[in-house]
């Protein structure tokens, strides 16, 4: 086997020591899981953003609140996060408004608490698996570095049994050790980029939801007068 064949990526992986191969397998598995969650989260955030924009258009078009509420109840499984926040707030508002002995401020506070609880659940759902992407981005390079260090140690131990070390005898061992770091970076970089992007998009959606809750609370307060 010549040096070129020894330094091909597939041969480097197959000829690596058992510990380095285990590290590579872990990193490849983590990378596949990371890409799975990246695609899942991309579709979830995109769907939430589109449904939020659609509901905002319907809400601010001046439609009747009762019709919007009935639409949200009847299509609950396909409703967006803002629509579910509206449903929770308007449902609590209607329930408390019919009770005697409650001040207007108590009714509005109750509706606001209901919206806040739903908002928190929706935000938790959007942020699901983001911590996994953050962990992959921060830990994967170190896992790969561990495999590289172990591989280099293994290569130098093998060189101790050789009378004269040459480039052809040193290069394969060092190269196969460095493959672990390369795989670690391959797993980490997309995870970091995706985490930053999704965190930014979710923060923007959270800001829009919080603004809607305040504006909707003002609308409900005017209806109490």
pLDDT tens for each residue of 166-176: 556 666 667 77
Residue 18 predicted with pLDDT over 60: yes
pLDDT of 165 strictly over 60: no
Mean pLDDT of the chain: 84
Asked if residues 56 and 212 have their Cβ atoms less than 8 Å apart, the reply is yes
Whether residue 142 is predicted with pLDDT greater than 60 in this model: the reply is yes
Mean pLDDT of 80-101: 88
Kindly give, in sequence order, each residue whose CB lies less than 8 Å from that of residue 10, ignoring residues fewer than 6 positions away: none
DSSP 72-125: HHHTGGG--HHHHHHHHHHHHHHHHHTSTT--HHHHHHHHHHHHHHHHHHHHHH
Q: For 158-181, what is the mean pLDDT? A: 68
């Amino acid at each position: 086997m010549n040096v070129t064949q020894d330094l091909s990526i597939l041969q480097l992986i197959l000829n690596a020591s058992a510990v380095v191969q285990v590290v590579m397998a872990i990193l490849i598995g983590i990378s596949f899981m990371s890409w799975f969650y990246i695609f899942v989260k991309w579709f979830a955030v995109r769907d939430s953003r589109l449904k939020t924009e659609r509901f905002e258009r319907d809400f601010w078009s001046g439609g009747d609140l009762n019709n919007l509420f009935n639409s949200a109840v009847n299509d609950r499984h396909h409703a967006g996060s803002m629509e579910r926040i509206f449903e929770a707030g308007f449902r609590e508002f209607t329930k408390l408004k019919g009770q005697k002995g409650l001040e207007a401020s108590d009714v509005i506070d109750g509706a606001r608490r209901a919206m806040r609880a739903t908002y928190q659940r929706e935000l938790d759902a959007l942020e699901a698996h983001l911590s996994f992407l953050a962990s992959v981005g921060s830990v994967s390079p170190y896992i790969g570095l561990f495999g590289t260090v172990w591989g280099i140690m293994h290569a130098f131990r093998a060189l101790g049994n050789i009378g004269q070390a040459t480039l052809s005898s040193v290069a394969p061992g060092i190269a196969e050790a460095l493959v672990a770091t390369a795989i670690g970076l391959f797993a980490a970089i997309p995870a970091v980029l995706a985490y930053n992007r999704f965190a930014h998009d979710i923060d923007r959606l959270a800001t829009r939801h919080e603004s809607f809750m305040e504006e909707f609370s003002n609308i409900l307060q005017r209806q109490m007068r």
